[in-house]
Amino acid sequence: MSQHTEYTEENIRSLDWKEHIRMRPGMYIGKLGDGSSADDGIYILLKEVLDNSIDEYVMGAGKTIEVSIQGNKVIVRDYGRGIPLGKVVDVVSKMNTGGKYDSKAFKKSVGLNGVGTKAVNALSSYFRVESNRDGKSASAEFNIGNLTNEELLDDTTRRKGTKVSFVPDDTIFKNYKFRNEYVERMLKNYVYLNPGLTIMFNGEKFYSENGLKDLLQENITEADMAYPIIHLRGDDIEVAITHSKTQYSEEYHSFVNGQNTTQGGTHLAAFREALVKTLREFYGKSYDAADVRKSIVSAVSIKVMEPVFESQTKTKLGSTDMGGDLPTVRTYINDFLKTHLDNYLHKNPETAERIQRKIIQAEHERKELSGIRKLAKDRAKKASLHNKKLRDCRVHFGDTKNERNLETTLFITEGDSASGSITKSRDVNTQAVFSLRGKPLNSYGMSKKIVYENEEFNLLQAALNIEETIEDLRYNNIVIATDADVDGMHIRLLLITFFLQFFPELIKEGHLYILQTPLFRVRNKKETIYCYSDEERRNAIEKLKPKPEITRFKGLGEISPDEFKNFIGEDIRLDPVMLDKDMSIENLLEFYMGKNTPDRQDFIINNLKVELDIVEEAHEN
């Protein structure tokens, strides 16, 4: 007879607002993370505070926002209207409280549910809010959502506006660190979407005059543009469009009410559809939609009344209506492009001709690859049945659109021992392993054809589900896990070359990482410390006096599965692969993978010397 757990009144609990946020943080800010990914929770906290300041600017209050991040402390100061003084505590600590429920005050706001700053408050070990208005000031301080101090000043000379300071709670966000690259990208998007707004970040100024045109110019070099950027503006819509000369896939930057909808939504689907329809009608040809959009690099921003997003982090628009007397999102975007893009192409025949050449080129390439692609898909299907290259995670069993996709990781590793250790120690629910056989091919300068003809590349893109588009990418995090030796470094470089050459948007959108594994283990009978650098090794030796046992890990295969759990679990250390905005992909690949040059030789010798010095010193100790 089966035993049943008791279910009585004592099992029923009522959580207050902060307890629920801290117990289920993912519901409010998505994944937690340590700051190595652009969508990690610490950046969502910053975004939630910034959104309020941006909404003030949109409503015509305050042209400057100041952001400071020193260590783990964040300060955001705007010069808007300031929170009504009697509600300073309520708006950051009472759920369903805020000015955005009044559509007259915030007509096209990002945050409409009154949760954002409450989540920041509850998930911060220190949180302070200060409001200045009408010559008076009110402030309140909190610790993990609990009010610790409140102050009201009758007279102040401070400029009006709101100042929020917070320190993310390190018991929630383990080993976190703010990366300036991600913060700067977020701030740049804000100024692109709000021309005339100035954001100061640690003393550096961010400002845009040309909106989404500036955004595209930040993401694609002029030399790589097939034609000058088409920049179109309407009352509640703005688009910027060009095609890349070298990129294979589509690249989109989409926004709703100033929010970067990284997962797209109804507005992006409507834009892609309307673009194809408009160009087909302009040229009088029924071009394949994939050929029209191949290599496109574009941005679209719309403003809607009371948008409905598919999650609290607002990364995907679910609304189908613009609001008020306006038509549906689909109709609105279609009508806009049909009128304004069509007019632009009639007035700029040279650009129209270049776009048509790109479409025809894409059509030829698609037909040329069609037979190879079909054979490659068949090979991939058969291979996946008969080899063990991919050990998938349970999230994908039966459903590639699982809501936990954001948590998924694919480790790309080389060698049976390394892949075996990761496979045995991984979280089988969200972590998968792809095993390489030897070093991959140097794909620099090769055409897309090689991706389908080379077995390793073909199986890798099949595992990632990016044969046609990265929209259906099966793993949010792609992690290169190789030994920290010369061969391992070479494999990393070859894999990065593959992604840069054929799928650069995976890097641009922050999906590619390098796994950092410890170089040393320092231990005595009581304690074990894993060290990721020579400095950490020296500190560990100092801490574990007298002479501890020191082990240098020469390869991933030397680390036992039991130990490996420590390195790919909660305390995983990832280095994001990022593009240098000042160097084009073509120049980057030429420098690292092209013909040998004195500059590259000097670069390799200098960096190798640093690594060898570290290793030699470690052996001496």
- Scored b (16 or more CB within 10 A) or e, 421-436 reads bbbebbeeebbbbbbb
Q: What percent of the chain has pLDDT over 70?
A: 83
> Nearest-5° angle of CA 406, CA 410, CA 412?
155
What is the structure's pLDDT at 581?
Answer: 61
Residue 355: pLDDT over 90: yes
Question: Where are the alpha helices (H) located in 164-265, listed in sequence order?
Answer: 180-193, 212-219
Beta bridge partners of 514: 480, 575
Q: Are 271 and 300 in contact (CB under 8 A)?
A: yes
Distances from the Cα of 203 to the Cαs of 65, 79, 162, 183, in angstroms? 11, 17, 19, 14
d(CA 270, CA 273): 5
Phi-psi region for residue 145, left (φ > 0), alpha (ψ -120 to 50) or beta? left
Residue 321: pLDDT over 70: yes
Residue 229: name the closest of 217, 246, 242, 247 by CA.
Answer: 242
Residue 236: pLDDT over 70: yes
Mean pLDDT of the chain: 83
Question: Any idea which of 73-87, 122-136, 322-336, 376-390 has the lowest mean pLDDT?
Answer: 376-390
Question: Could you tell me the pLDDT band of residue 575, with boundaries at 50, 70 and 90?
Answer: confident
Q: Are 521 and 530 in contact (CB under 8 A)?
A: yes
What is the structure's pLDDT at 108?
Answer: 58
What is the structure's pLDDT at 610?
Answer: 43
Question: Could you tell me the pLDDT band of residue 106, with boundaries at 50, 70 and 90?
Answer: very low
Q: 612: which 2 tokens?
A: 């060898």
What is the structure's pLDDT at 446?
Answer: 80
Q: Are 433 and 413 in contact (CB under 8 A)?
A: yes
Most confident of 88-102, 108-122, 123-137, 553-567: 123-137
Distances from the Cα of 575 to the Cαs of 48, 319, 517, 578, in angstroms? 25, 36, 11, 9
Beta bridge partners of 240: 231, 299
What is the structure's pLDDT at 104?
Answer: 47
Residue 254: name the closest of 339, 329, 358 by CA.
Answer: 329
Residue 572: name the closest of 509, 620, 517 by CA.
Answer: 517
Question: Could you tell me the pLDDT band of residue 618, with boundaries at 50, 70 and 90?
Answer: very low
Region 134-158 average pLDDT: 89
Residue 413: name the closest of 382, 388, 381 by CA.
Answer: 388
In order of their start, the domains of the chain are 17-207 (3.30.565.10), 212-365 (3.30.230.10), 387-517+553-582 (3.40.50.670)
Q: 211: which 2 tokens?
A: 């909106």
- Residue 12 dihedral angles phi and psi, to the nearest 5°: -90, 125
What is the structure's pLDDT at 228?
Answer: 95
Residue 366: pLDDT over 90: no
What is the structure's pLDDT at 603?
Answer: 60
Count CA atoms within 13 Å of residue 366 on its CB side.
19
Residue 336: pLDDT over 50: yes
Question: Any idea which of 24-38, 400-414, 496-510, 565-579 has the lowest mean pLDDT?
Answer: 400-414
Question: Could you tell me the pLDDT band of residue 264, with boundaries at 50, 70 and 90?
Answer: confident
Q: What is the pLDDT of residues 177-213, one digit of tens each?
A: 999 999 999 999 999 999 899 999 999 999 999 999 9
Residue 14: pLDDT over 60: no
